[in-house]
Amino acid sequence: MAARGHDAAACLDGTGLCEADVLREGIDDSLSREQECRFYENVIRLSGDPSIGLELGDVVIPERYGLFGYALLSAETFERVLVLAESFGPMAFSFFSFGYGKQGRDAWFELRGNPDTSPDLTRVFVDRGLAAAARTFRAILGQRFYLHHVLLPHASNGNADNYLRMFQSPVSFSSQHSRLVFDAALLEEPLLNNHRGTSLHLEQQCQLIMARLSGQGRFVDSVRMQVLSRPGVFPDIDVVANSLGLSTRTLKRRLRDENTGYREIVDELRYGLALEYLGKTRLPMEQISTLLGYRESANFSHAFKRWEGLSPSIWRRENTSALPLS
């Protein structure tokens, strides 16, 4: 939106957040559902562009999805990517579930469910979701990925050319589906960066997070669930408090009642995940640092030395001699 001449304050009007909050956590990781809707209402109003969702989705790269994104990138085939998206989509998207199918020579990826928002917001969320999916699939398959057809549930509203430019394929509006349709032969295509061992491990970690997201337990487990809900992002305490409908002061008090604190929880989760990534995958340090929410690899290295008394690279050499190549 800055490129269109709109500042952060105007986009965040009514959300209760400021630019510093967004810079610290990222827009999708700073906002509750209500705040997210208000933010996108502002974006629609300021841009005056009903198809703004296309632009918002086209800037998303797989790594932005954290653990889920890296699982997609290391999958063996494109069909496995779609299976993972169907299983773990809630880790990355709040308003839809994902699905895929095949009929004859065509296969498709689709958004499922109704976000229960206004028609204008629903349009933006559908456009953003499908544009982000198309961008992700192109990043995963390279030039092999192209679309046969796109189905959208809303009218074109005079913006059909924007959709043709984005998807580079025929687009049908006012459909019953939100779908990207492509050649079914792509399902068997190997990925550019596939690695079976890494993919299986990351999938297990996604399963763990999804289990925690759907589980019930002590208050501290609810906090852990919120911390893990956005892989690669470890939000500030006020963001978690807002997600739980509490004041920061109340959240701190309730954690004290369970003999812990927010910083201890974050460190515990980071430490456990660090050992998993270092000991059971061949992910480079830069990717591990990103997955653990560190902007710089040096910050991760300092934290790991505090936990283990060794640098991450030395710990990995001493503890992963039997790690299989695949």
**81 part of a folded domain:** yes
**204 part of a folded domain:** no
Whether 111 and 235 map to the same domain: the answer is no
Whether 100 and 125 map to the same domain: the answer is yes
Q: How far is CA 204 from the centre of its chain?
A: 17
Residue 214: what pLDDT? Answer: 56
Whether 95 and 224 map to the same domain: the answer is no
Whether 11 and 87 map to the same domain: the answer is no
Write down the pTM of the prediction. Answer: 0.70
Instruction: List strand residue ranges (DSSP E) for 198-239, in order.
Output: none
Whether 163 and 69 map to the same domain: the answer is yes
Measure the CA–CA gap between 288 and 310, rounded to whole angstroms.
Answer: 16
Whether 253 and 173 map to the same domain: the answer is no
Task: Note the pLDDT tens digit of each residue in 175-223.
Answer: 999 999 999 999 999 998 787 777 777 787 777 777 655 554 468 877 8
Whether 137 and 269 map to the same domain: the answer is no
Residue 242: what pLDDT? Answer: 86
The CATH number of whichever domain residue 283 belongs to comes to: 1.10.10.60
**112 part of a folded domain:** yes
Whether 69 and 188 map to the same domain: the answer is yes
DSSP 8-state secondary structure symbol assigned to residue 191: P
- What is the span of the domain harbouring residue 22? 1-48
Residues of the chain with pLDDT under 50: 216-217, 322-326
**86 part of a folded domain:** yes
Give me the number of domains the chain comprises. Answer: 3
DSSP 55-115: HHHTT--GGGGTHHHHHHHH-SBHHHHHHHHHHHGGGT-SS-EEEEEEETTEEEEEEES--
Whether 117 and 189 map to the same domain: the answer is yes
CA-to-CA separations, 17 to 3, 39, 223, 232, 241, in angstroms, rounded:
21, 10, 21, 21, 14
Residue 325: what pLDDT? Answer: 38
Whether 94 and 109 map to the same domain: the answer is yes
**321 part of a folded domain:** no
Whether 42 and 77 map to the same domain: the answer is no
